Amino acid sequence: MSKVAIQGDPSGSGTFTIAAPNSNSNVNINLPTVTGGNFIVSNASGNVGIGTSSPTARLDVANTSTNTTFSTVGNQLLIRNAGTTVDAYARIDFAGGSANNPTASIAAQIKNYGTGATDIVFGTFNTGAGTIAERARITTDGNFQFNSGYGSVATAFGCRAWVNFNGVGGASIRASGNVSSVARNGTGDYTVNMATALPDNNYVVAGLSREDSTGNHGNQYVTMRRNVMTSSSFRLSTGSSSAVDHVETMVAVFR
């Protein structure tokens, strides 16, 4: 049979109290029953440890998960709003100094209890209003929204690929992002291949080019060949009155 021991220190005079609530409900403290489990309140450090016998912070929740699949439900820490009010938050607040009110927050906003749709909201302190204001949001369908001078929190549409290359002399690539290669099909005629494809070919390409280093920049163009755009590549031409290699061509893809 398991044993329960409560032992006082003969050299001390303090009182350790476990008090029942002033109600008819029960209060439980359930210690781990698994081998190696820990629930520690450290008198020396003032730290609380769950899953560790040596907590290194005020609350140290430790596990030894080997799960590398994000879609798999974790088992380390769960912040739950047990209510069912749509748009209510399950929230973590941050504060500095002795202020009673938090000055920053991260929260999950439950959009639909039936489907599980949930946004993640980030807030910081609005010193003018004296309250926390929503600054950024990742919606349940993966859109990243933020307010950075827009006046409201709105979806940010990112640059999905970019490249800066020299088309003269066989062409060379100065720098790129999400581009695997640039093919020179002929004079002033290039195909940009993206490393990771987009969902379709209805994206936008913005481009600028410069013909040479002597300031020759009149009537120049970067044009697209829409009929050969795919989800992973697009073809462009540089030139003036005809296709010409330019020393600097810069293109960016948005969607």
Partner 1 sequence: MTQVIIYNQDNGIPAVVMPTQEALDAHGIMAIAIKDVPYGKKFKIIDAAELPQNAPQEAWRIDETLLTDGVGGVSNEFPPQIAE
Which lies closer to partner 1 via its Cβ, residue 147 or residue 187?
A: 187
Residues of this chain, 158-197, that bind partner 1 according to CB under 8 A:
163, 165, 169-173, 176-187, 191, 193, 195-197
Q: What is the 3-state secondary structure (H, E, C) of 160-221?
A: EEEEEEECCCCCEEEEEECEEEEEEEECCEEEEEECCCCCCCCCEEEEEEECCCCCCCCCCE
Residues of this chain, 107-166, that bind partner 1 according to CB under 8 A:
163, 165
Q: How far is the CB of 184 from partner 1 (least distance, A)?
A: 5
Instruction: Output the CA torsion sign for 229, 227, 207, 168.
Output: positive
Q: How far is the CB of 23 from partner 1 (least distance, A)?
A: 54
Distance between start and end Cα atoms, the chain? 66
Residues of this chain, 220-239, that bind partner 1 according to CB under 8 A:
230-233
Which lies closer to partner 1 via its Cβ, residue 48 or residue 189?
A: 189
Q: How far is the CB of 177 from partner 1 (least distance, A)?
A: 7
Which lies closer to partner 1 via its Cβ, residue 163 or residue 222?
A: 163
Which lies closer to partner 1 via its Cβ, residue 45 or residue 231?
A: 231
Which lies closer to partner 1 via its Cβ, residue 125 or residue 165?
A: 165
Nearest-angstrom CA–CA distance, 192 and 219: 23
Residues of this chain, 73-92, that bind partner 1 according to CB under 8 A:
none
Q: How far is the CB of 186 from partner 1 (least distance, A)?
A: 5
Q: How far is the CB of 11 from partner 1 (least distance, A)?
A: 56
Which lies closer to partner 1 via its Cβ, residue 164 or residue 220?
A: 164
Per-residue binding letters, 56-75, with partner 1 (x by CB under 8 A) = --------------------
Which lies closer to partner 1 via its Cβ, residue 36 or residue 186?
A: 186
Per-residue binding letters, 197-216, with partner 1 (x by CB under 8 A) = x-------------------
Question: Which residues bind to partner 1, rule: CB under 8 A?
Answer: 163, 165, 169-173, 176-187, 191, 193, 195-197, 230-233
